[in-house]
Structure 1
Amino acid sequence: MQSATSPLQTLLDLINETLSLILRTSLTVRSFAGRWQPLRTKLASLQTSVADISDSPHWAENPLLYTLLPNLLSTLQRLKALADQCNDTSFTGGKLHMQSDLDMAAASLTNQLRDLDLLLRSGVLHQSNAIVLSHPGPGSDKENLSFFIRDLFTRLQIGGVEFKKKALESLLQLLEDDDKAATLVAKEGNVAYLIHLLDFHNQPWVREQAASAVSLLAASNDESRKAVFEEGGLGPLLRLLESGTTTLKEKAAIAVEALTADPENAWAVSAYGGVSVLIESIRSGTPATQTHSVGAIRNVADVEEIKAALGEEGAVPVLLQLLLSGTITAQEKSANCLAILASTDEYFRALIIQERGLQRLMHLIQDLLSSETLEHVLRAIASLSASEPCARVLSSSTLFLIQLAEFIKQGNSILQQISVSLLSNLSISISDGNKRAISSCMGSLVKLMESPKPVGLQESASQALVSLLTVRSNRKELVRDEKSVMRLIQMLDPRNEAVSHKFPVMLISAILAGGSQGCRKRLAVAGAHPHLQKLAEMEVAGAKKALQRLSGNRLKTIFSLTWRE
């Protein structure tokens, strides 16, 4: 009874009455019959939509209809007046003016039909709680949450400024409070409309709220990120990053970094001209914008066409500067990006060297960087060491080599692996003085030889050790280290399948190369002889030669005892 006498019911009755009059009148119009034919089709669709609203159990509770129905009635009344004029033989109005009036009325009717259709499809007119946009609690089931999202997007698309404001606030609260909500928003909501607001809404706060929502969706999970990308989000986000407010740029940078984390999306950055936008954001943006923009560049740095653009747009000096002045996270991403570029392209290695990048990277190692940043810095240095001039600089820097030795001794597993590989590559050029300076890492190198993974670590550690053992004092130092000697003997054991036997054999040969009786004695006492003898019988490379070196004094001792007897 309440709904039957409500203002909304009165409006609906007037709409139905006016609709019937227009449909009857439009059948007999004498002027502009061609324009009235598509209008009749729209009016018939409207009649169906209005009937569907009447049949919805809770239609009178929905606040959106308080705006929609008066606007619709106004459009219909205008159309009724136009239909009467088109039927009036005495009408002397201008032809062009009438055409314009009919076109504008048709456009309004189309928009209102779309809004009604959206409202009906959302299902909110069938829910008694549609009158209040209440935030679902933590225990809400999927059905209630889905309804909330549909209701929210309906208000966002159809409602006025206040409806949009409240809908966006509720959407942001939902995305921030519930990690799983993004997937449902991508499925039940209209992500395309959110993206539309980034470019076309004239209210700055609406664009900011929409940018925050898109940013959260892009960064939440694979499904919601895919929805943002497939609905065309990357282009508007890059435009915001280029010319938006400070807040908009930061939100856009977060979203662009998240979108480019998917390799399948990387190509689109160049399609939108995004490389120059990202580089400029690093050059002049806030710390937050810089951090996420360099993250986006890192994500796409190995795409061929984007690498070319990075070189042309001057990315290298910008990345090197950020490596010195950016936040900790920005430094890590910048170092990662430089490592990627240096590892894949001689052109970029030359650019980095030209910009004195090697010296900057070496200097950074002395700073208190995070382990992740150090890893990327070392990877970049390792790639640059492929250049002979860079290798000479690195192998002659005592300070750098000492730091490398410290990483081998005390770094995490990744730092150790990179450092061992780099030391192995540089070892042929390191002076005896520098080899003595880093002898303290030999025990750690022996220990790393026991590690079967990653592939290549045992070989790199062996090669580095063999190089260090060309110095006499280093050989003596190593054999005095009981733990290292025992590890070496254990690796020599033919039953030990964790290590390729050629590597410990190489070390035995290197230790004995100087002919020191003390080294022979320590290795013999530790039990090297039977293992080497067995390996020689197995024809392991170098085992016979090592056995001969180890057995030299042993044979002399046997002959001496026999003579005396």
Structure 2
Amino acid sequence: MADEQPSTTAGTGLRRATELLSSLISLSHSTRVFAGKWQLIRNKLEDLHSFLIAGDSTSLSGVIPAITNTLEECHKLARRCVDLSYSGKLLMQSDLDVALGKLEENVKKLREIQKKGVKMHSYAVVVSRPCLGASKEDMRFYLRDLLNRMKVGDLGMKKQALISLHDVVVEDDKFVKLVVEVPEFIYVLVDFLGSPEVEIQEECAKVVSFVAGFDSCKGVLVGSGVVAPLIRVLECGSEVGKVGAARCLHRLTENSDNAWCVSAHGGVTALLKICESVDCNGELVGPACGALRNLCGVEEIKKFMVEEGVVTTFVRLVRSKDEAIQVSSIEFIQNIASGDELVRQMVVREGGIQVMLCVLDPKWVCSSKTREVVMRAIENLCFSSPSYVGVLLNHGFVDQLLYYVRNGEVSIQELALKVAFRLCGTCEEAKKVLGDAGFMAEFVRFLNAKSFDVREMAAEALSGMVMVPRNRKRFVQDDKSISLLLQLLDPEEGNSGNKKLLVSILMSLTSCNSGRKKIVSFGFAKNIERLAEGDVSSDAKRLVRKLSTNRFRSMLSGIFHS
């Protein structure tokens, strides 16, 4: 008994055969002779592989030894073809024909076993996943293995194959390209989207959604008929499946050529129903909204959405406590109303401006990112019309801007300043409200900012605001602001706004006696004189002349010649 060798178990035999098969397929790609024969052999090897990976060791134990012997013979033939160590072409061709016949016989036996109803187990032998940097042949072989599992495996095997496929495409983009090169792969995925098995549908939606993120794959997916099953998943799939389908449609519709295909299969209605749902979640509404945003670029589709009450739906969504839903809905409203006055009017009538202002309220709990989105949307929607600006002014928008200019994070502070600058240019009433709120002092503060654009913007806004008599009177009373303004006129001061604009502001202030007095009393008249001598602008010379009238000449004389 001591000399008796331990018997090889059925499971070990199956694993050995599968590993040998994997090695042989890889080696066959290296053969450069008898290409036609090797292609036929490789096809049989792949058929053999699809049966082996799906079967259990017990049911296949009777055929494994014969299969292993055939594979070993083929491996020797492949090595001799790679090394060109065979004795003659006719003899090698005959040997390959014999090997091909044996493989056909092996496949035939396995097919008969399968027809008898042998159960395909999810714990069958698994081909190892290629490491990063693996050859394309190894990657193709692994994908072929996954495809075979999806085609002939049971529920567990199919699910695991989809999970493995998702993992490799996410890890390495090269797998994505290889997947779309095989039409059969895409057709199997499209078919799985319509599977009655929820788990298969969900995992497939994840894979297809990721692949759809690549521009080169969008056309392949749509051409393979992926749109219709995606929309069916949206209509009656699980929550996870719907999220995957919505994300996929969002990515596919980034290409406007796919818009009509989605619309023709009822995609617009399905996406709208998701957004109309009372208990929808941000993970689902976000991509659904993104897809609708892409689709509304087609005028006819946008018109249909508006007729279906999309404006009312999305104004309601802005009130959501889910921040992702808020951002998505605001961006959609901004997009669908862009360049369309009728839609913009509908947004205003539905209370869209007031709802967005609620989100801007510092007491509302949300991120700075959300507030930035709201602020940009308000700017794009409202600043083109005096009546819309009036709604903003009457609902505290200026006070909100002032709060963020004074207290916001750097990104939102700068954005609030830019929005205030644009608001200042909309109408005189806006200038008055900004002046009453205290914005002139804030603009003066930014005249000394590090950013040239911010300094320029602050100077231009202030220049426009002091043209309003009420603002000018208020500004003259602000000694600190006037003093800083005069200091910045120093020709050697490089970190200031546009000096021509600063001079223009002072010119406005000299229209009243109190303004001229203040300018003279601060003792910075030399800066103005030096600017005039440097011919910075004709306004500087005019300003000197205006300050040199009889009434102020004695005061200036002492300043200029001190």
Please, what TM-score do these two structures have when normalized by structure 2?
0.68
Q: Which of 377, 399, 403 is matched with 2:374 structurally? A: 377
| Alpha carbons 2:193, 2:204 under 8 Å: kept | yes
Distance 1:468 1:403 in 2: 25
Q: Does 1:524 align with 2:532?
A: no
**What does 1:24-35 align with in structure 2 at a 5 Å threshold?**
none
**1:344 match: secondary structure:** coil
| Alpha carbons 1:294, 1:334 under 8 Å: kept | yes
Q: Which residue of 2 aligns with 1:511?
A: 509
**1:325 match: secondary structure:** coil
**What does 1:274-313 align with in structure 2 at a 5 Å threshold?**
274-284=267-277, 285-313=280-308
Q: Which residue of 1 aligns with 2:232?
A: 239
Distance 1:55 1:333, change over 3 A: closer
Q: Which residue of 2 aligns with 1:102?
A: none
> Cα deviation per residue 1:288-317 (whole Å; 9 max; x = unaligned)?
211221222233444323321221111112
| Alpha carbons 1:462, 1:506 under 8 Å: kept | yes
Amino acid at match of 1:446: L
**What does 1:108-119 align with in structure 2 at a 5 Å threshold?**
none
Structure 1 residue 354, shift from structure 2 partner: 0.8
**What does 1:77-476 align with in structure 2 at a 5 Å threshold?**
132-138=126-132, 140-159=134-153, 161=155, 163-178=157-172, 181-188=175-182, 190-199=185-194, 201-219=195-213, 221-284=214-277, 285-366=280-361, 367-382=364-379, 383-397=381-395, 399-409=396-406, 410=408, 411-412=410-411, 413-431=414-432, 435-447=436-448, 451-452=452-453, 459-460=460-461, 462-464=463-465, 466-467=467-468, 470-476=471-477
Structure 1 residue 365, shift from structure 2 partner: 0.8
Distance 1:274 1:131 in 2: 41
Gaps of 5+ in 1: 8-47, 71-111, 117-129
> Cα deviation per residue 1:519-555 (whole Å; 9 max; x = unaligned)?
333373471232145447x54xx44543433444796
Distance 1:58 1:253 in 2: 35
Structure 1 residue 267, shift from structure 2 partner: 5.0
Bigger mean CA deviation after superposition, 307-316 or 506-515: 506-515
> Cα deviation per residue 1:91-149 (whole Å; 9 max; x = unaligned)?
xxxxxxxxxxxxxxxxxxxxx99xx9xxxxxxxxxxxxx96332233454443223211
Q: Which residue of 2 aligns with 1:96?
A: none
| Alpha carbons 2:275, 2:313 under 8 Å: kept | yes
> Cα deviation per residue 1:57-94 (whole Å; 9 max; x = unaligned)?
68755535988xx9xxxxxxxxxxxxxxxxxxxxxxxx
Output the aligned Cα RMSD. Answer: 4.2
Distance 1:509 1:400, change over 3 A: same
**2:206 match: secondary structure:** helix
| Alpha carbons 1:172, 1:213 under 8 Å: kept | yes
Distance 2:458 2:178 in 1: 46
Distance 1:218 1:433, change over 3 A: closer
Amino acid at match of 2:189: L
Structure 1 residue 50, shift from structure 2 partner: 13
Q: Which residue of 1 aligns with 2:98?
A: none
Amino acid at match of 2:240: T
| Alpha carbons 1:459, 1:503 under 8 Å: kept | yes
Structure 1 residue 414, shift from structure 2 partner: 3.6
Distance 1:423 1:299, change over 3 A: farther
Distance 1:454 1:340 in 2: 31
Using the aligned pairs only, state the percent identity.
24
Structure 1 residue 474, shift from structure 2 partner: 2.4
Bigger mean CA deviation after superposition, 446-455 or 416-425: 446-455
Distance 2:291 2:550 in 1: 65
Distance 1:466 1:527 in 2: 23
Distance 1:298 1:316, change over 3 A: same
Distance 2:464 2:346 in 1: 31
Amino acid at match of 2:527: G
